Structure formats: structure tokens, C-alpha cells
Amino acid sequence: MSRPIRATIHLSALSHNLDVARHHATHARVLAVIKANGYGHGMLRVARALAAADGFAVLNVQEAVTLREAGFTQEILLLEGFFTADELPLLTQHRIATVVHAQWQIDALLRFSSAVNIPLWLKANSGMNRLGFQASEFPAALDALQHAGATPTLMTHFARADESEGIAGQLTCFNAISRHAELPRSMANSAALLSYPQTHADWVRPGIMLYGASPLPPQSAAELGLHPAMTLSSEVIALRNIKAGDEVGYGGTFQAPCDMRIGVVACGYADGYPRHAPTGTPLLVNGQRSRVIGRVSMDMLTVDLSNIPEANVGTPVTLWGEGMPVEDVAAAAGTISYELLCAVAQRVPMLEAA
């Protein structure tokens, strides 16, 4: 760990953010979304911190089996369902719930009859047009599962819960599709959970909010009562005084407007920091807000120290996390907080903090 970059995972922040989700959806069960290696925080680490959740949502059967073998007994749901019929014996053996979004999956379940006894979540396409049965197909799909003895949870996913257009159209569609079925329902992602109580139903599915990033820009995570679960930090490893007109970094994309003092930080795109982050992307140096200047390199980036005279080799730098919202960094880089958190490279050491 001689190179100073590290990601610190704040376990108490994860459990706090789960409490925030429960506070907003008091009558719903919480299915914590921990796919993508717990949004880059470490799946098992996150699961342990969120052990009070009613269930977990993951991407594939390998992740689900890992959770079962680690002793987790809650509902574990495959958000994209099983990918081949060969996975059904594992789902049955470990009682892993699966989304059902296509006719071939129903056909496979009916052929492997014992699989209809695992928890099934039947997905409706209410307007996002990714996975799920169309409104015209949904009744027949539901009837086929019920005829085989299944009692599925009905679900959909909102495309614009975090935008001004909201969820009205999709909610109307889903309610029309499912109105005659007395079955559990699940609709709300993080943004809907925080903004639309009418979507809470029986299960909510928080994801990004559990990791302390705002799902509702321009509202900040702090304004929503969320705590950052990851702090990506490093240190200044070199200093340089440059003259007006000097260029910095590959391509000379930054030209000093005046004499400046700059620092080199041990963090680059091979660590997961976005290469496309432009000059002006915020970070903290010794707790003070500063900016990236020039092009991000594979292992380093350059920071403006003009207003931080005390900065020296070894001065701490916060790329995002406590004091530096990841959504602010993402907005400056033209991306979203999900991408930054999920992209932290394996070479970055991860430490746990209470």
C-alpha cells in the first residue's frame, strides 16, 4: 500500500442510508440493490452492512449463490432473470428468486416444473422498453405462471423517476396492466422511493441512494439525508511552479493564465477516475475545494494549488466522498455517480471504516 490512493468504505453510512430508505417507505419491504459488486463497494461487504434489508438484488446466479454460501437467508433476486435454462437447478437448490421478462423464460420454467416453486417476479414493460412483457402480452404471461402454481410479484421499472417528466405515464400503464391481480408489487427505485410515495407498494428497490449519492439532481445527497459510503482519497506526490503560458499534461489542454503552483496527485484513469474529467472538475486538497487541471493520465492527475499555499508532498486529496459529493464530480465529468463508483479499479486498495 505504498502508493497513497485508497477507497475507504464507510459501513455506518450504508446502514444509515438503508434507514433513510425505510423512513421514506415505512410500509414496504426493502430489496437492496447490490449488483456491480455492490456498486463498486464490494458485494459481500455491502451485504453485511445492509444485513437488515429484507432482500438483495443482484445480476447473476453466481452472485446470488455467493450470498447464500455466505449465510444470507433473505430474498435474493436476479434482476435480469436467469440467462439460460441450465441455471434453473441452481435457482431451485438455493431458492434464488428470478425476474421473468420473456416468454422463453416461462417456457423453461414450465419444462423444469420444480422451478415454479421459487419466488418469481414478473416484469411488465410500462414504457422503458428494455425488459418486460408488453401490456398486450402481460395477462397471458401471468396466467401461464399462475396456472403452473406460481404466485409472482409484479414489477416494473421507471425510466424518468429522477426527471421532471416523472412516473405518471408508466404508473398508469402498470396499474392498468396489473389492476385485476391481487399480488405483491414492486416499482420504486431510489428516485421514486424518495419522490413518489404512491409507487412504494410491497417492495422498494433502492440502489444508488444506499451508497450515499443523490438520485435526484440537483438535490444533493446531504439535502436528502444520505451519507457517502465511499471516500476515494490520495495524496499530492509532486509540486511544480509554472509560468504564464506553460502547458500542463498530455495534449497541452491546459495553459496557465498566470504564474501558478500545481500539484501531481496519485490517481488516474487506471484507478477508475474518468479520463474525460475536464479542467475544473472539483476535488479537495487538505479539505479545501480545488480543481483538476489538464488531462487526466493513466496514473496521475494535476491539481491547482494556487490558493492552497500550505499544500506539500503528502498533503491529502479527496477525489470524492466525505466533503466532496461524487455527484458533483460526475456532473463536471459529464457522467453519473453510478459510473464513477462502479469503475473504481481493482488495483485501488479498499479499506473498511465503521
Query: Residues annotated as binding site for substrate?
Result: 130, 298
Strands 254-255 and 247-248 turn out to be antiparallel
C-alpha cell at 76: 435474493
Grid cell 438535490 is found at 219
Euclidean distance between CA atoms 262 and 264, whole angstroms = 7
Here the cell at position 345 is 479499479
35 catalytic per annotation = yes
Question: Is 243 considered catalytic here?
Answer: no
The catalytic residue among 123, 211, 250, 273 is: 250
Interatomic CA distance for residues 186 and 121, integer angstroms: 9
Instruction: Note whether 56 and 79 are within 8 A (CB).
Output: no
Binding residue numbers: 130, 298
The conformation of residue 190, written as its DSSP 8-state character, comes to: H
How far apart are alpha carbons 172 and 181 in whole angstroms? 15
Catalytic residue among 35, 39, 123, 273: 35
Dmax (CA) of the chain: 77
Burial class (CB in 10 A: 0-12, 13-18, 19+), 174: buried
Identify the bridge partners of residue 7 per DSSP, sorted by sequence position. 232, 350
Show Cβ contacts of residue 147 under 8 Å, excluding neighbours closer than 6 positions: none
Which residue reads 479545501 in cell numbers?
288
Euclidean distance between CA atoms 304 and 289, whole angstroms: 10
Cα-Cα-Cα-Cα torsion 162, 166, 172, 174, nearest 10 degrees, comes to -10
* Positions marked catalytic: 35, 250
